[in-house]
Every structure is written in C-alpha cells, then in structure tokens.
Amino acid sequence: MMTVVSTMQLQSSSESEWDQLIRERFRSAHDREGWMSGQLLSPADAPNVRVIVGTWRNQRDWEAWHEDPAFLSTRARLDELQQVDHQTVWYNVIEEAQANDD
C-alpha cells in the first residue's frame, strides 16, 4: 500500500470550483482498481493551499487512473485554477491505524 501527497496553491477565489472538480475526481477513483481512499485538505492558515492525500494499492494503479478519460477531462481546468505546478510525493505505508466504529 502506498500514499501519494500532492500539494498545490490555488488562484485567488478559485477554491470552490477547484474543490468541486477534485470531488468529481474522487468519485471517478471509487471504481478504479487499487484505489483505497482519498482526502482533500486545506491548511487552517492557508485557505488557498490544497493537499490531496490518496492511498492506493500501488503506484501503477494511480498512474493508470491518470489515463482515465474522467480524470483527463478535468486536468486543463484544474491547471488553470492553480498558481504553480503541484508537488507530488510518494510514501510507503508502514502502519495504518484507525478508530473503531463501535
């Protein structure tokens, strides 16, 4: 299992549209082989910064998703809403802990 963390800074006043496009991307990932979970985060002190945390079985599955038409259909618009290219870092998941649902 691997986690990918992407960080980007958005153009002023583009947050709402950008967030909606990422929500659509998350929905498209639900049925992708290897997708496990995703989070869209915004630092409390930086409202125009976004961090996407995705957990995948492996990097190959994530790369295959990047060729999916649903993924590609939003790419150009997302790039327009960002100030600079995003940074992406991969992590091997060594341990995962979650709260009990009880």
pLDDT digits over 21-48, tens only? 999 889 888 889 999 999 999 999 999 9
Please write the tens of the pLDDT for every residue from 55-98: 999 999 999 998 988 788 888 888 889 887 789 999 999 998 88
Residue 63: predicted pLDDT: 93
State whether CATH 3.30.70.100 applies to domain 2-92. Answer: yes
Q: Residue 13 is encoded by which pair of tokens?
A: 């006043």
Q: Per this entry, what is the length of the chain?
A: 102
CA dist 36 and 62 (Å) reads: 10
Q: Residue 51 is encoded by which pair of tokens?
A: 């961090």
Please write the tens of the pLDDT for every residue from 90-99: 999 999 888 8
Angle between helices 69-81 and 15-29 (to 10 degrees): 160
Q: Tell me the whole-structure pTM to 2 decimals.
A: 0.86
